[in-house]
Amino acid sequence: MGNRQTQVSEGRAGTDTVTSAEPRGGNGTRWTRGTLFLFNLALADASWLLALPFLVQYHLDSVNWTLGRPLCTAVRLLYHSYFYLSIFFVTCVSVERYVAIVHPLRAVALLGRRQACVLCVAIWAATLAFSSPVAQMTELQRCPAANHTNRTICTLYVMLEDPRESLPFSLCWSFAGFLLPLAAIAYCCVRSVLEVRRRRGLCNGRGRHLTRLLSAALVLFALLYLPYHLTRNAAVAVRALYPRNPEAWQPASLAFALEMCVCSLNSCVNPLFSCFVGRRFRREFWGAFARLCRCASKLSSSETLRDGTREAEDRAPAAVCATTAVWAESGEGGGAPAQMRPGEGACSRLPDGALAHSRPGVTHRNC
């Protein structure tokens, strides 16, 4: 019975651990769809911050890459992937708000929490997979410097002299990674605003809050992503139109380089977008850290319980023989205490069947 109680205790501790490990808010509720999308948006920004120190060192060293081709490829791939991951998850936030406003009764069926988790995984996998050509088009080039020394340039695919691969790649990503999300965000924003105005009951603080969120997503696209895609495609198209005139490339290349710097601020804008617009995200995100701390304490207490159980099982024979009086049969209807044989200490093991020969009515401490 003691082992059974131990198993039940361990089972409860394990169940509490698994339950606590799930993404939950401060009050123990599971993360909502919007919180999942905003968390993945923050995760995408964090992936870009991993590559940022290498680019800072690259530009401080007079645009001279000294870290080898693998790191050069990884940095360029991270930048491209992070850029479109941000676009996709901002789009997901807008679609989630649209479903909650326009189709509130079918919100769970159209976009439940499980579908949101699957969608997040699919976005990460698809973006990284379709960004893989960036790794193939990234090159290290030797260029003469002003002090008559050679510099190693970590070339972005947009700056390649031969645009036969970079032009189709840039156009495809501009359509699938920018125009389609932009159309989706604009549609969701307009439909949601019209629905909020139609329902006079929603013309309160919550309705205005949802309208601000969708409008902020649309403004984010207009200010950051549209100029970037225009200048990038222009830089690649100029190389295709004037393949033997590098001087004609300079204005478009300079404009694209400036837009890259502006779009790098996206990693600063997205946290503001999440914090100022997603109030529930702040509450649930920081609540999850509190639950992780409680989860760690439960894990340590569970380990302590297991260690104590093992020690109790090791001491069980000694406790049984020290606290149990073994009665031997002495005929029908009674018995007398059995005499301890010479050489047996107080901690000798019970013989087989000892509990079966105990006097009726005697309760043993190990039962």
State mean pLDDT over 69-81.
92
**Does residue 359 register a pLDDT over 50?**
no
CB contact set of 81 (below 8 Å; sequence gap of 6+) = 44, 47, 127, 128, 131
Give pLDDT tens digits for 243-290.
888 888 999 999 998 998 888 777 777 766 666 555 554 454 445 445
pLDDT at residue number 70: 92
pLDDT band at residue 170 using 50, 70 and 90 as cut-offs: very high
Parallel/antiparallel/unpaired status of strands 150-155 and 327-329: unpaired
Which tops the pLDDT comparison, 279 or 68?
A: 68
pTM of the model: 0.66
Length of the chain: 367
3-state secondary structure of 200: helix
Residue type, 1: M
Q: In 10 A of CB 200, how many CB atoms?
A: 9
% of the chain at pLDDT higher than 70: 59
**3-state DSSP helix/strand/coil % of the chain, to nearest 5:** 70, 5, 25
Give the integer Cα–Cα distance in Å for 178 and 184.
Answer: 10
Q: Is the separation of the CB atoms in 353 and 329 below 8 Å?
A: no
pLDDT at residue number 213: 67
**Does residue 198 register a pLDDT over 50?**
yes
Strand partners, 143: 151
Q: Which of 6, 7, 16 lies closest to 297, judged by CA? A: 16
Mean pLDDT score across all residues of the chain: 72
Tokens of 89: 């998850």
pLDDT band at residue 300 using 50, 70 and 90 as cut-offs: low
Q: Is the separation of the CB atoms in 82 and 45 below 8 Å?
A: yes
The DSSP code sequence of 315-363 is: HHHHHHHHH---EEE-STT-EEEPPPPTT--TTPPPPTTTGGGSPTTPP
pLDDT band at residue 14 using 50, 70 and 90 as cut-offs: very low
CA distances from 169 to 19, 164, 194, 233 (A): 44, 9, 37, 10
Tokens of 346: 């107080």
Give the integer Cα–Cα distance in Å for 245 and 238.
Answer: 9
Give the integer Cα–Cα distance in Å for 224 and 228.
Answer: 7
**Does residue 181 register a pLDDT over 60?**
yes
Give the integer Cα–Cα distance in Å for 165 and 170.
Answer: 9
State mean pLDDT over 206-229.
77
Q: In 10 A of CB 24, how many CB atoms?
A: 19
Give the integer Cα–Cα distance in Å for 342 and 84.
Answer: 84
Burial of 154 (0-12, 13-18, 19+ CB in 10 A): buried
Give the integer Cα–Cα distance in Å for 202 and 219.
Answer: 23
pLDDT at residue number 210: 65
CB contact set of 248 (below 8 Å; sequence gap of 6+) = 238, 242
